[in-house]
Amino acid sequence: MQEININKWEITTNRFVGFIDIMGFKDMVARSSHDEIYEMMKKINDFQKFSTSIKWNINEENPQLVKTTTYSDSIMVYSLDGSFESLKSFTCTISALIHDLFAEGIPFKGSIAYGMMTIDMERSIFFGQPLIDSYLLQEEMKFYGIIVHGTAQRIIENSTGIPFYIPYLCPLKNGNSVHLTIAPIYWTVKGYEDRNRKLTNSLRKMRYKTSGSIRKYIDLTEEYLEIIKVKS
């Protein structure tokens, strides 16, 4: 794993990339007022700001190690580089963000990948194979959560001290397969029962907004969260 570059964000480098899709966004826009959608998007933006502010034993002189962008119903998360410090902050950001999305009853699915990625904030240019990999993998998912693409799995498995990654037999469109998943930040920590209860209740309330085959996503997500909680 590369050493952290504490000087600046390189426009093009190997980094961790997360793609998170807000599910059912078109229906939300059709069935909700414009103001309601705007309020939801502001909440998501607040979640992003809070999650990227979380530090995990990072020296204060280090730069921000994670950035996020939003386009319509998609959230992209980028690490500074491929260093262990960046991976820890990136993981914390993803884990905190998905906890907040669950707790607010916002359905989502996403994936993270690793590779060469260009992030030119000044010109709004974003492209790279890990963004494509993470997008395509989340398209296969049949539950709400975050799974890890093979490009990032070996790096994560060779890293120690990051407890949020849990292997799971994930339900996918063409069958089930084991992937690493990222647990919500409080889900595997004792002493946060109240926060986790809110998460569970919000997930169950999603049923009132769905019918038919879409409810299967909720069933599979509840099963997933229960199993990884037992494992932890």
What pLDDT shows up at residue 43?
64
The 10s digit of each residue's pLDDT in 55-100 is 555 444 455 889 888 887 889 999 999 999 899 989 989 998 898 8
Angle between helical axes of 84-103 and 34-52 (0-180°, round to 10): 150
Per-residue pLDDT, 27: 63
Q: H or E element: which one contains 89?
A: helix 84-103
Asked which of 47-51, 82-86, 148-152, 207-211 is least confident by mean pLDDT, the reply is: 47-51
Per DSSP, the residues of 8-47 read ---SEEEEEEEEEEETTHHHHHHHS-HHHHHHHHHHHHHH
* pLDDT for 52: 59
**Percent over 70 (pLDDT), the chain:** 77
Q: Which domains does the chain have, with CATH numbers?
A: 12-231 (3.30.70.1230)
pLDDT averaged over every residue in the chain:
83
pTM of the model: 0.84
The answer to whether residues 152 and 159 touch, using CB atoms and an 8 Å cutoff, is no
Give pLDDT tens digits for 164-189.
999 999 999 999 999 999 999 878 77
